[in-house]
Chain A
Amino acid sequence: QVQLVQSGAEVKKPGASVTVSCKTSGYTFTSYYMHWVRQAPGQGLEWMGIINLSGGTTGYAQKFQGRVTMTRDTSTSTVYMELSSLRSEDTALYYCARSSGWYSIDYWGQGTLVSVSS
């Protein structure tokens, strides 16, 4: 069965960077895309970007351009999302979500809490 298992919670100071991983199993890794979505406490969902797991090409929401980097390791079927220059407003649950192409999100990871505090 398809599984997306994310890394554990992180606590970071303002200005630092964080990397969240999403280890996948149960399907052909390079046949899909992966989205990253975040949700601040008590708030709605926010789309951050997408990576093509075959070629590694990415597309980021304008809000995160220059601060986010999405990569993948095909040897371990793992996807990574790095967010830099963290500020308190980046405190949120971060989710990975699989899609076949841009238009069909299906499975989600369990979420990773990133807390940013001095």
Chain B
Amino acid sequence: GAVVSQHPSWVICKSGTSVKIECRSLDFQATTMFWYRQFPKQSLMLMATSNEGSKATYEQGVEKDKFLINHASLTLSTLTVTSAHPEDSSFYICSGQSGGLETQYFGPGTRLLVL
């Protein structure tokens, strides 16, 4: 199947700093990318959907000014957690989808710990 990478896989930061997470589709063009958050022992929660070249669509309750999403190319989307707080500590997963295909290809996830 198609490959999606995320970087970094682990990040520890101080409260108040910003953290950028990259999501890349390595062997396909991801016209749509999704960002999810997962707390321990819970299911995935969709944060936002982004289409290449357009503004992201955020799910209810997700602050767009806190979680900045950029999808500038068909192979790269970034999520920036601004002014991170300990409650932002979570596992962040991206996925990519090509055109109208149903299947999403998931990245390996980024574990964020805010101290």
Partners in one complex: no
Chain B residues close to A by CB (< 8 Å): none
Chain A residues close to B by CB (< 8 Å): none
